[in-house]
Amino acid sequence: MKYVFPFVGVAALSACMTPVAVPTGTIPFSQVLAETADRPYECVDYEERTNSCAGYSTHEAQGEGRYIATSVVRLSEEIPTIQATYVVVEQGLAICSVASSTVLQFTRDAGLNAELRLATLEREIRELEDVCYAYSRTAGGYRSQVVSGSDRALEDPISDYRYFSSRKLLRVAE
């Protein structure tokens, strides 16, 4: 579940509507994107040994403080890669997702049963409560930490990111 949440959790959860308390050292998401403008691929948990990511996202500006995010993740060898498209909005220094905007799809044919399970997951995601994140710098990139919502985003509310100019290999999320 650790690697599913950065992908599905961000994709799934609705926008924060009130100011959100954030930890010291938080930087606005727009600043993260400005600092990484020449490196549009946000790689979660980069593994240098395999030059791979557990998932990655890109963000397209849709006005001030509003972005369309596209994220991909491989949950197992048996099913195709899943892609999520969703809206994220800045709320003060936090970045929050909009559950009702979430669209999930496989990147190739997965068969009827898998498609039905994915449709069920998409419906469930759209019903989750608001979750907001705070980004901060790390020695090798950035870290996001859940600061509000959905029981603080399941059991692993912190993810590390590095940004790259091209896609890295996508490994099965553990």
146 Rama sector, left if φ>0, alpha if ψ -120 to 50, beta otherwise: beta
CATH no. for residue 10? 2.40.128
Query: DSSP string spanning the chain?
Result: -TTHIIIIIHHHSPPP-S-----TT-B-HHHHHHHTTT--EEEES-BTTTTEESEEEEEEE-STTEEEEEEEEB--SSS--EEEEEEEEEETTEEEEEEEEEEEEESS---HHHHHHHHHHHHHHHTSPP-EEEEEE-SSSEEEEEEESHHHHTT--EEEEEEESSPPEEPBP-
> 95: exposed, middle or buried (C-beta count within 10 Å: 0-12, 13-18, 19+)?
buried
Q: Residue 63 domain-assigned?
A: yes
- Average pLDDT score over the chain: 84
Q: Residue 170 domain-assigned?
A: no
Give 96's strand partners: 89, 132
Q: How far apart are CA 140 and CA 135, in angstroms?
A: 13
Q: Residue 123 domain-assigned?
A: yes
Q: Residue 171 domain-assigned?
A: no
Q: Look at residues 109, 154, 135 and name the one whose alpha carbon lies nearest to residue 3.
A: 154
pLDDT band at 128 (very low <50, low <70, confident <90, very high): confident
Considering its fold, how many domains does the chain have in total?
1
Q: Residue 173 domain-assigned?
A: no
- The model's pTM: 0.82
pLDDT reading at 150 higher than 70: no
Query: Do residues 153 and 12 lie in contact, with contact meaning Cβ atoms separated by under 8 Å?
Result: no
Q: Residue 73 domain-assigned?
A: yes
**Phi, psi (degrees; rounded to nearest 5) at 132:** -125, 150
Boundaries of domain holding 99: 4-162
Q: Residue 101 domain-assigned?
A: yes
Q: How far apart are CA 5 and CA 110, in angstroms?
A: 21
Average pLDDT (105-127) is 90
pLDDT band at 140 (very low <50, low <70, confident <90, very high): confident
Chain center to CA of 94: 14
State pLDDT tens for residues 24-67. Answer: 889 999 999 999 999 999 999 999 999 999 999 999 999 999 99
Q: Residue 90 domain-assigned?
A: yes
